[in-house]
């Protein structure tokens, strides 16, 4: 099976991890801050906090922005469930804004319409989670404009997009957002096994993120209610979690960061080769917005209804049976049973549902060979014909 994504672990990665295993600190050692600094320097953000997953990073980002009961969080229906669940963890109400059918990202025009409606009934969101699907940045300048007009905060869910750029700046510089979140799950661009990281340029948000990832505990006397009782002293000043990343994971991440730009460049080369070689087939190749340099986490083609003799599902099954590890990113969040239980219904976000009927993620990862890519294309051509 040619998988849709695959991590690369080199001898340098292994040596870096083994070094930590032989050291005095397995967790909360000296490597974690180096990893955080490395990511911040790369993407151009001031503060970064590594945690045990992007899901945890989204949760504490919402809390740091003050999201709570009686508040609303909006996001895209075409994302991994974590982008929406973080709102529910905080007791907030979650709603969705339909996608732009070309980029598959949250559509700024539909966002504006929904904000105008919400303003009339005093139901504006506190936080909008903007997902950079497939690694291509959403239209952040437009969304940021709307945030100033309607007064909401922005979290970028850049789980797919580390190493990508928007208007020439790296995703994560937070020019148009309050917090940006990355995932280091093995299928993503670079990995720490499990892991995530939240970056921000705002010192007050940074302070909150740091507290919340570790029980709400501080050792900083400036934050305490009274001077320390002694050298052992710390205070819990908020309700936080144990969302910390280990030094073992950080060492793997730090080593992987060396190859981030090369990985993204290779992903773009392979994606462009797909664009060229698929142009003869009855499929739609992924549109790239001129403002975005995608990290190319996913290569999503669409099989238009009635454009082929076989159905989307038949083509998908045929590819899987032929050893091509295609996937579908994602099932629209609002039609999962849990969300239907909250009152959502099929038909509410038609662009997302149309995307779901057409999309197929083809294998794409930096160590994929040209022979493997040719194999994918040949099997796809067969699946479309027969």
Ligand X SMILES: *Cc1c(COP(=O)(O)O)cnc(C)c1O
Which residues make up the interface to ligand X (CB under 6 A)? 53-55, 79-80, 82-83, 131, 157, 159-160, 183, 185, 196
Question: Least distance in Å: CB of 331 to ligand X?
Answer: 13
Question: Least distance in Å: CB of 243 to ligand X?
Answer: 11
Question: Least distance in Å: CB of 360 to ligand X?
Answer: 17
Q: 83 vs 103, which CB is nearer to ligand X?
A: 83
Q: 131 vs 179, which CB is nearer to ligand X?
A: 131
CA distance 351 to 327: 19
Q: 195 vs 366, which CB is nearer to ligand X?
A: 195
Question: Least distance in Å: CB of 157 to ligand X?
Answer: 5
Q: 159 vs 351, which CB is nearer to ligand X?
A: 159
Q: 205 vs 333, which CB is nearer to ligand X?
A: 333
Cβ-count burial of 369 within 10 angstroms (0-12 exposed, 13-18 middle, 19+ buried)?
Answer: exposed
Tokens 């087939």 sit at which residue?
A: 281
The CA-to-CA distance between both ends of the chain, in Å, stands at 21
3-class secondary structure per residue, 53-72: CHHHHHHHHHHHCCCCCCCE
Alpha-carbon torsion, ordered 258, 368, 53, 140, to 10 deg: 80
Alpha-carbon torsion, ordered 243, 246, 247, 252, to 10 deg: -100
Distances (CA, A) of 124 to 91, 153, 156: 16, 11, 18
β-bridge mates for residue 180, sequence order = 156, 199
Q: 160 vs 379, which CB is nearer to ligand X?
A: 160
Q: 335 vs 377, which CB is nearer to ligand X?
A: 335
Q: 212 vs 278, which CB is nearer to ligand X?
A: 212
Question: Least distance in Å: CB of 286 to ligand X?
Answer: 16
Tokens 């292994």 sit at which residue?
A: 14
CA distance 154 to 73: 10
Question: Least distance in Å: CB of 309 to ligand X?
Answer: 33
Question: Least distance in Å: CB of 79 to ligand X?
Answer: 5
Question: Least distance in Å: CB of 382 to ligand X?
Answer: 30
CB 186 within 8 A of CB 210: no
Relative orientation angle of helices 31-43 and 247-257, to the nearest 10 degrees = 30
Q: If we measure between CA atoms, which residue out of 381, 383, 363, 382 comes closest to residue 373?
A: 363
Question: Least distance in Å: CB of 193 to ligand X?
Answer: 10
Q: 55 vs 327, which CB is nearer to ligand X?
A: 55
> In this structure, how many other beta carbons lie within 10 angstroms of the beta carbon of residue 326?
23
Return the SS3 of 144.
helix
CB 244 within 8 A of CB 28: yes
Assigned token pair, 81: 């469930």
Assigned token pair, 211: 């507290």
């Amino acid at each position: 099976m040619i998988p849709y994504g695959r991590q690369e672990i080199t001898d340098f990665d292994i040596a870096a991890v083994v070094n930590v295993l032989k050291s005095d600190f397995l967790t909360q050692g000296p490597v974690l801050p180096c990893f955080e600094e490395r990511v911040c320097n790369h993407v151009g953000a001031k503060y970064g906090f590594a945690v045990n997953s992007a899901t945890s990073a989204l949760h504490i980002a919402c809390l740091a922005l003050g999201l709570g009961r009686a508040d609303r969080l909006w996001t895209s229906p075409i994302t991994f469930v974590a982008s929406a669940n973080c709102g529910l963890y905080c007791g907030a109400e979650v709603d969705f804004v339909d996608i732009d059918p070309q980029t598959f990202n949250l559509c700024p025009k539909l966002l504006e319409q929904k904000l105008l409606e919400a303003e009339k009934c005093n139901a504006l969101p506190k936080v909008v989670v903007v997902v950079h699907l497939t690694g291509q940045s959403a239209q952040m300048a437009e969304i940021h404009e709307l945030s100033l007009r309607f007064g909401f905060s922005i979290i970028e869910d850049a789980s797919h997009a580390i190493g990508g750029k928007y208007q020439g700046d790296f995703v994560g510089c937070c020019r148009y957002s309050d917090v940006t979140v990355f995932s280091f799950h093995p299928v993503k661009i670079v990995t720490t096994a499990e892991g995530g990281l939240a970056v921000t340029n705002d010192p007050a948000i940074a302070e909150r993120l740091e507290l919340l990832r570790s029980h709400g505990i501080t050792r900083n006397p400036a934050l305490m209610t009274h001077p320390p009782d002694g050298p052992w002293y710390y205070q819990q000043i908020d309700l936080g979690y144990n969302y910390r990343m280990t030094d073992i994971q950080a060492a793997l991440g730090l080593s992987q960061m060396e190859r981030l730009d090369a990985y993204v460049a290779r992903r773009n080369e392979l994606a462009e080769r797909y664009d060229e070689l698929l142009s003869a087939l009855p499929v739609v190749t992924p549109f790239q917005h001129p403002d975005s340099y995608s990290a190319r986490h996913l290569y999503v083609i669409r099989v238009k209804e009635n454009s082929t003799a076989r159905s989307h599902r038949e083509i998908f099954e045929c590819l899987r049976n032929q050893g091509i590890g295609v996937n579908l990113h994602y099932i629209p969040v609002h039609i999962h049973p849990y969300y239907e239980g909250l009152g959502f219904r099929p038909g509410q976000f038609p662009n997302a549902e149309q995307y779901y009927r057409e999309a197929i993620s083809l294998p794409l990862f930096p160590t994929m060979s040209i022979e493997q890519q040719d194999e994918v294309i040949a099997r796809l051509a067969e699946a479309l014909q027969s």
